[in-house]
Amino acid sequence: MARQDGMAVISALLIAAVVAVIAAGMIERQGLLTRQVENRQLAVQGLWALEGGLQLSRQVLHEQRLRDPLVRAGQPWAQPLPEWSAGNLVFAGRLEDEQGKFNLRNLVVDGLVDAQALASFHRLCALIDIDERLATAIATLVIDSYPQRAVASPVQGAEPASGRLTSPASASATSPPRRPMLRSLDTLASLEGMNAKALQRLRRVVTVIPALTWVNGNTASAEVLAAQVPGLSLQQARALVAERDGGRWFINRGDFVNRLRMPQLATANVRVGINSDWFRLHGQARQGQRQVRLQALLRQREGQLPDVIWTRVGA
C-alpha cells in the first residue's frame, strides 16, 4: 500500500512537472508572439514617423532656399531637425550637405576619366591616410562602373555646376561598364585593404552623387578643399576654413578664388562653388531603446520641394 502511495506521489510530481514545462513553453511562445506583434507595430509606426521626418526635412530645405540661396553652416538646415511624433515614436534627424564632400561620380565625364578629378581624389586619400593602393582600387572600381569612350579625346567645357550636368554630349562609341554602378560607399567595404576605420574616414569626405557636382566651399572640410584646389596646402586650407567658420562666408565663387591668394592658379581649375543642391538625411524613429533608422538622398530644386532620390530604411 505504501509503495502504491509512493508511486502515486511520483506520478503526480511527474504530471505537475510536465504541466509546468508545457505552461512555461506556452508562456514563452506567448511572449515571443507579443514581441513579434510589438516589433511589427514598431515597424509600421516607425515608417510613419520616418515619412513625416522626411517630409519635414524637405520643407526645411525648401524654406531655406527661399530665404537664402547660399548654403553654409549655421543655417536652419544645418541644425538638428525639430522632433516629430507619430504615436509613441519620436523622429529625430539631421541633414548633411553632400556637396561638402568629394563626389566619386566626377571621376568619369562623358565616358572619359577626368584627370583633374582623379588627381584630386588621390590627394584627398593621401590627406586622410588612405593607402595609395587602396585609393587606386577605389578609383578603378568607380571608373569601371561607368560606360567608357572608345577613343580618348579632351573634354572641352566640362565644368559641372552645383548638382547639374553641364558636360557636352559625346557622339563617340562607348563600351559598357565592366562593373555595377557604385551607389553607396558600403560597396567599398569589400575591397582588399579596406577596414572600418578607413571607411569611416572616407565617409566624412567622400560621397556618391548621381550627377557631376562642384564642391561647396562654404561647407567643405579643409582636407576636401586642399584636395580640390591644385597647389593649396592643408595648412592654407585650414586657415581658410577657420576664417570662413569665423563668419566670413564665401559670397560667390570669385570671392573664394580671391581669398585663396594664389594668383598663379588658373580659375578654370578651381571646381569650388558656394551652393549645394544635394543633401543627405540621417533620421531615426525611436521608442525607448528601440529605433528604426533612415537615410535619404535629397536633390534641391528651385521653387519646389526637394526630390527624394532614394531612401534606405534600417541603414
Least confident of 126-140, 144-158, 172-186, 233-247: 144-158
Least confident of 8-12, 88-92, 104-108, 175-179: 8-12
**pLDDT score, position 169:** 45
Give the pLDDT band (50/70/90) at residue 164: very low
pLDDT > 80? residue 155: no
pLDDT > 70? residue 137: yes
**pLDDT score, position 7:** 66
Top pLDDT among 84 and 283 is at 283
What DSSP character marks residue 129? T
pLDDT > 60? residue 171: no
Mean pLDDT value of segment 145-172: 56
Least confident of 103-112, 152-161, 288-297: 152-161
Question: In this structure, what C-alpha cell is assigned to residue 73?
Answer: 553652416
pLDDT > 50? residue 64: yes
Top pLDDT among 13 and 181 is at 181
**pLDDT score, position 246:** 95
The structure's pTM equals: 0.80
Chain-wide mean pLDDT for the chain?
86
| Count of residues in the chain | 315
Least confident of 152-166, 210-224, 287-301: 152-166
Top pLDDT among 4 and 247 is at 247
Instruction: State the first-to-last Cα distance of the chain, in angstroms, to the nearest integer.
Output: 70
Question: In this structure, what C-alpha cell is assigned to residue 6?
Answer: 509512493
Least confident of 131-145, 188-202, 289-303: 289-303
Top pLDDT among 226 and 303 is at 226
Question: 3-state DSSP call for residue 82?
Answer: coil
**pLDDT score, position 168:** 44
Give the pLDDT band (50/70/90) at residue 43: low
pLDDT > 90? residue 13: no
pLDDT > 50? residue 166: no
Please state, in angstroms and rounded to a whole number, the distance separating the CA atoms of residues 60 and 206.
24
User: CB neighbours of 83 closer than 8 A, spacing ≥ 6?
Assistant: 90, 91, 92
Mean pLDDT value of segment 158-176: 54
**Which residues face 175 on adjacent strands?**
148
Residue pLDDT, tens place only, 224-281: 999 999 999 999 999 999 999 999 999 999 999 999 999 999 988 899 999 999 999 9
